[in-house]
A and B are shown apart, each in its own frame.
Chain A
Amino acid sequence: MADPLHQFQIVKIVDLPDPTLPIVGTVDLAFTNSHLAMTIAFAVVVLFLTAVTSGAKVVPGRLQAVGETLFGMIDNMTDSIIGHDGRKYFPFVFAVFMFILGMNMLGMFLTFTATSQLAVTATFGLITFGLVVVIGIVKNGAGFLKLFWPTGAPLVMRPIVGLIEFFSFLLRPLTLTLRLFGNMMGGHIALKVFAGFVVSMGALAAGGGLGLLGLPGAALSLGMVTGLTALEFLVAFLQAFVFAVLTCIYLNDVVNLGHGH
């Protein structure tokens, strides 16, 4: 049986010459399967949205209805969570949502899931966190620190609660990163483990004799794989959605700082 972690291995497809950078040193530059998966996801998202908007009609067809539903969902979300300033942040949230959704969904069809790489999800987490910090400082200046001064708590408790708030603020990129990474990686490992059971129990049954008892086990595992695949499609969508919702909530914290929305 193949190692269930084998699917996450990075393989070089095209090895590019290694450049030497001033501070980092020599970088191992290559076009890997992770790049390939992300490039395909990017192309699919762009082509899909182009196809949706090219023949736009007043009464949408099937494809246009899918695109409009996704667009409307994120638009509603930014509007209801961030408020009337939400439109400004819609492009970022929608881009992140579509890209993560594309990568998650393609992971169900291809052999490689880009979002099951910690480096990829960490980049998303850090971009979101960095954007929140930058917007918070640009919009509020030093008032950004009010985020860690909970006016709802009694005065004695405020420094302690503020300290906890501060650490939970610093943990945000970590939890954003690990949630997406863990969900995608865990789901794909579970799929592979049950698929491996089907093969090994089938091989047992092929031996004949007592090994035939492996057949029900193999059938059960096959059923599990089918069910888990359906669940993974749900998770793929849900994780992209959750990432977008949390991005909106974090943006709301700094955009509407002080006037409790």
Chain B
Amino acid sequence: MDPQAAKLIGAGIAMCGMIGAGIGVGNIFGNFLAGALRNPSAAASQIGNLFVGAALAEALGILAFVMGILIWIS
């Protein structure tokens, strides 16, 4: 295989890490919504935790994204 093509395919495959981030962020927001509907009065105080959790889960997806970019431009 052409090394250039292999590199580009590798960069694309590296993006699979984003799948996990998507599942994680979806899980966090879904569970937050489920909890918030059960007890709406407690929901407002947990918004900060919600976004921190989403940011931490998302960071791992971003690492995959950066990896893909690094492979692509290297």
Interface size class of A (residues with CB under 8 A): 10 to 19
Q: Which residues of B contact A249 (CB under 8 A)?
A: 52
Q: A186-B62, A186-B65 are in contact. Are A179 and B55 (CB under 8 A)?
A: yes
Whether A242 is near chain B, meaning CB under 8 Å from some CB there, is: yes
B52 touches A179 (CB 8 A): no
Whether B63 is near chain A, meaning CB under 8 Å from some CB there, is: yes
Interface string of A245-256 (1 = CB under 8 A from B): 110010000000
A183 touches B51 (CB 8 A): no
- The secondary-structure label for the interface of chain A is helix
Q: Which residues of B contact A183 (CB under 8 A)?
A: 58, 62
Interface string of A59-75 (1 = CB under 8 A from B): 00000000000000000
Whether B9 is near chain A, meaning CB under 8 Å from some CB there, is: no
Interface size class of B (residues with CB under 8 A): 10 to 19
A178 touches B48 (CB 8 A): no
B51 touches A242 (CB 8 A): yes
Q: Please, how many angstroms separate the alpha-carbon atoms of A69 and B43 in the complex?
A: 20
Whether B59 is near chain A, meaning CB under 8 Å from some CB there, is: yes
Whether A197 is near chain B, meaning CB under 8 Å from some CB there, is: no
Closest chain B CB from A198 CB (angstroms) = 24
B51 touches A246 (CB 8 A): no
Q: Please, how many angstroms separate the alpha-carbon atoms of A246 and B52 in the complex?
A: 7
Interface string of B13-36 (1 = CB under 8 A from A): 000000000000000000000000
Closest chain B CB from A27 CB (angstroms) = 24
Q: Which residues of B contact A178 (CB under 8 A)?
A: 59, 62-63, 66
Q: Which residues of A contact B69 (CB under 8 A)?
A: 185
B48 touches A182 (CB 8 A): no
Q: Which residues of A contact B62 (CB under 8 A)?
A: 178-179, 181-183, 186
Whether A175 is near chain B, meaning CB under 8 Å from some CB there, is: yes
Q: Which residues of B contact A145 (CB under 8 A)?
A: none
Q: Which chain B residue lies CB-closest to A238?
A: B51
Whether A241 is near chain B, meaning CB under 8 Å from some CB there, is: yes
Interface string of B46-67 (1 = CB under 8 A from A): 0010011001001100110110
Whether A205 is near chain B, meaning CB under 8 Å from some CB there, is: no
Q: Which residues of B contact A185 (CB under 8 A)?
A: 69
Q: Give chain A interface residues in 4-52, CB to chain B under 8 Å.
A: none
A242 touches B52 (CB 8 A): yes
Q: Which residues of A contact B52 (CB under 8 A)?
A: 242, 245-246, 249
Return 7 A-B CB contacts under 8 Å, by A number. A181-B66, A183-B58, A186-B62, A186-B65, A242-B51, A242-B52, A249-B52
CB within 8 Å of A: which residues of B? 48, 51-52, 55, 58-59, 62-63, 65-66, 69
The 7 closest A-B pairs by CB, nearest first: A182-B62, A242-B55, A179-B59, A175-B59, A182-B65, A245-B52, A178-B62
CB within 8 Å of B: which residues of A? 77, 80-81, 175, 178-179, 181-183, 185-186, 238, 241-242, 245-246, 249
